[in-house]
Chains A and B, each alone.
Chain A
């Protein structure tokens, strides 16, 4: 029993360490992170993880630096989800899948894309973008 509890604690802390995909570097106006059922106000220095959703209010923006030096920023009135983020800091192999459901997104791709083209994909409700080492912007509107 004690051994299995220790094992559980160990796996939880290992998962928490592995799960940091990036860190919030810029916040302006209203913005929050949805993590499971928890809603956290976005703050500079806050880590972001796989499965987090970043939501900005009408005046809100958020900028994030990821572990592989990918830079992402989310404009006002946006909803952006980190679906999958894996990065090996030794081999630079990784996978970065995300979804912009609405609003605007700016991207500067990082090291994993240099290592393997198309390691990064951004989805919108009707498209999938494969990224080969570049800066780009995406906007999703209702009409």
Chain B
């Protein structure tokens, strides 16, 4: 075979070399294992057990050992940012005033900030089901803004803080409508 033809064939083989991918589901920090659905053309593989692995070109779901995961993905896993630390502050009914206990909790937020190289803070307001949904959206946003004010007051730069109001969408304690539930009147602080 002429050298040129061989060279072209080799070049084509390199160009068309199909990348190979491997996907492995890991147990999360709290032990929970979720699901990844891997779609390749018409075929689908569902991974829902710890270390279950799908690899292109293989029809069977296989399993990696924890050591294999560490040797292949150790550097990437090491670069994962810290899990967000979550704090809950509670309010007296219908107001944006913190309960006395929750004022003390602010110190813990400050400690979590100091433990991170460049923290940012997400403040998420929630309400109970007393009042209508729109009013609760506004009240939850107002509670988040109030807590942002406290955080700025203890020295956290305002530009590192974002706020959001979730209204009555995410009840900590599920209740019927129009139920006064102190544990639902809260602000969640994520230090990230």
User: Which residues of A pack against B, CB within 8 Å?
Assistant: 23, 25-26, 28, 44-45, 61-65, 69, 71-76, 78, 89-92, 100-102, 104-106, 108-109, 118, 124-143
Determine whether the beta carbon of B75 is less than 8 Å from that of A142.
no
A25, A44, A128, A142: the one contacting B19 at CB < 8 Å is A142
Determine whether the beta carbon of A135 is less than 8 Å from that of B192.
no
Determine whether the beta carbon of A76 is less than 8 Å from that of B75.
yes
B 19-56 binary contact with A (CB < 8 Å = 1; else 0): 11111111111001111111110000001000000101
B-chain residues with CB within 8 Å of residue A72 when the two chains form the complex: 80
B19, B75, B165: the one contacting A61 at CB < 8 Å is B75
CB closest chain-A residue, reference B57: A126
Indicate whether A141 sits within 8 Å of B19 (C-beta atoms), given known contacts A44-B117, A130-B36. Answer: yes
Question: Which residues in chain B, 54-109, are within 8 Å of chain A measured between CB atoms?
Answer: 54, 56, 69, 72-73, 75-84
User: What is the bound-complex CA distance between A65 and B40, given in angstroms?
Assistant: 28
Number of interface residues of B (CB under 8 A): 52
Determine whether the beta carbon of B165 is less than 8 Å from that of A63.
no
Indicate whether A126 sits within 8 Å of B19 (C-beta atoms), given known contacts A65-B81, A105-B76, A137-B24. Answer: yes
Indicate whether A104 sits within 8 Å of B76 (C-beta atoms), given known contacts A90-B164, A131-B36, A135-B28. Answer: yes
CB closest chain-A residue, reference B86: A69
Indicate whether A71 sits within 8 Å of B18 (C-beta atoms), given known contacts A106-B73, A128-B39. Answer: no
* Distance of B91 from chain A, by nearest CB (Å): 18
* Distance of B54 from chain A, by nearest CB (Å): 8
B27, B39, B165: the one contacting A135 at CB < 8 Å is B27
Q: Residue B1 at the A interface, CB < 8 A?
A: no
User: What is the bound-complex CA distance between A79 and B120, given in angstroms?
Assistant: 26
* Distance of A31 from chain B, by nearest CB (Å): 10
Determine whether the beta carbon of B33 is less than 8 Å from that of A134.
yes
Additional A-B contacts beyond A65-B84, A75-B79, A126-B21 (11; CB < 8 A): A61-B75, A63-B79, A71-B81, A74-B79, A127-B56, A131-B34, A134-B34, A134-B35, A138-B21, A139-B72, A142-B17
CB closest chain-A residue, reference B81: A25
* Distance of B121 from chain A, by nearest CB (Å): 12
A-chain residues with CB within 8 Å of residue B77 when the two chains form the complex: 73, 106, 137
